[in-house]
Amino acid sequence: MPLAKDLMVPLLKDERAKHKLKRLVQSPNSFFMDVKCPGCTKITVAFSHSTTPVICSGCGTFLCRPTGGKAKLVEGCKFHSDYGEFGLVDESSNRPCLYLKFHAKLYNFNLNGTNIGTELADFTSPSVKLHGFCALHNEVRKHAQIQASWNAGERRRVLKFVFREGYLNPSSSRHQAEELRWLLERLVYSEHFKGKSVSFSSSNESSAIRISAPLNQKFVCKDRLNISLHHQKYEDIIVEFLPEIDVQPVNTKQGFGSNIYVCERTRRRTLKESFQSTMTIFSGFILGLSSVGVLAGYSLRRMFMSPKRTQPQLYDAF
């Protein structure tokens, strides 16, 4: 992945003098760097050959992850085409490795008044910064993350998606046994204003997971989906995803977009509409047969039951 724009690398000469012993233990060509978080803008010191992920000390965003013995920043190449379609691109193959498409609205019940719903920013706009990383092909449990940050007046807003491979409980799935799937494990919305910040997070319980699909399939939904975000002190915030919703965070190399998983709500609505359409056609067919039967019966009645002729009256014989 390319280096982040806000990265500030210190002088190697000074770092060799300050951290010579630690560097030699890890790697002779290693160094330390200060990484500025794109969400809360705090500075976190990261080691170039770190063997564990580096997390922002302010908001908990993943800043670096170890790949091949070196720590790479998680800033990815973003792509976008139509409104609402965005994600991350794998540099080696130049193909999407994390794909999202949706519109969204935010309902903040902590605001006074009736106008609590606001439409989120267009994530394909240049004013929105995308930051994240894709799942590695050799990961035992695939893990991917993407976050969008933008300015709304004097506030800095951040929406973060955390995807992880895991099992979905039978109570939350139509299958009887646990099924290995990719899950939208956590959705986090945060606002930063004058050095203060507040974050709302979704529950990671299986019953609260709204977006998931089998590992090699893309999640598609043509209905609205609501995800509640919670805070210990404040009222909940609801993120409403507007159709059409397409999500595929892992396994995008083979058959990208061709193998789809339709969400439960859309599947039920489609079956219901199909059943109603079938019943409408069947009712029309029965009504047509009844009309034809009535006309045929009336015609036969007139044919076989002609009106009786009355005998002529006496005065007609003269």
Domains, the chain: 1-74 (2.20.25.100), 76-268 (2.40.160.110)
The rounded distance, in Å, linking the Cα atoms of 146 and 161 is 5
Residue 9 has pLDDT above 70, yes or no: no
In this model, does residue 248 exceed pLDDT 60?
A: yes
Between 154 and 64, the more confident residue is 154
Cα torsion 129, 132, 134, 140 to 10°: value is -170
- Which is nearest to 228 in space by CA: 210, 206, 246, 249? 210
pLDDT of residue 25: 45
Q: Per DSSP, which regions of the chain are E strands?
A: 32-36, 43-47, 54-55, 62-67, 70-73, 77-80, 85-90, 95-108, 117-119, 129-133, 143-152, 155-168, 179-193, 196-201, 212-214, 218-221, 225-229, 237-248, 260-262
Q: Determine the average pLDDT of the residues in 143-167.
A: 90
Indicate the SS3 state at residue 190. Answer: strand
Highest-pLDDT range among 2-11, 49-58, 260-269, 274-283: 260-269
Residue 230 is classified by DSSP as: B
Q: What is the pLDDT of residue 21?
A: 45
Q: pTM of the entire structure?
A: 0.63
Q: Which helix (H) or strand (E) holds 288?
A: helix 264-304
Which range, of 43-52, 157-166, 234-243, averages the lowest pLDDT? 43-52
pLDDT of residue 298: 76
Q: pLDDT tens-digit profile of 171-206? A: 555 555 677 889 999 999 999 988 889 999 998 776
Q: Which of the pair, 5 or 151, is modelled with greater confidence?
A: 151
> Is residue 245 pLDDT above 80, yes or no?
yes
pLDDT tier for residue 219 given thresholds of 50, 70 and 90: very high
Calculate the average pLDDT of the chain. 74
What integer pLDDT is reported at residue 6 of this predicted model?
Answer: 37
* pLDDT for 8: 43
Express as a percent the part of the chain with pLDDT over 90.
17
Q: Locate 305 and state its tokens.
A: 């039951």
2 pLDDT band, cuts 50/70/90, is very low
**Predicted local confidence at residue 163, as pLDDT:** 93
Q: What is the residue-wise DSSP string for 112-169? A: SSS--EEEPP-TTSTTSEEEEEPPPTT-SS-EEEEEEEEEETTEEEEEEEEEEEEEE-
Q: What is the pLDDT of residue 288?
A: 79
Half-sphere exposure of 33 (CA within 13 A, CB side): 22
Q: How many whole angstroms separate alpha carbon 75 and alpha carbon 35? A: 11
Burial of 195 (0-12, 13-18, 19+ CB in 10 A): exposed
* Most confident residue range from 101-115, 155-169, 300-314: 155-169
User: Would you state the pLDDT for residue 72?
Assistant: 44
| Per-residue pLDDT at 69 | 42
pLDDT for res 1 = 38
pLDDT score at 76: 47
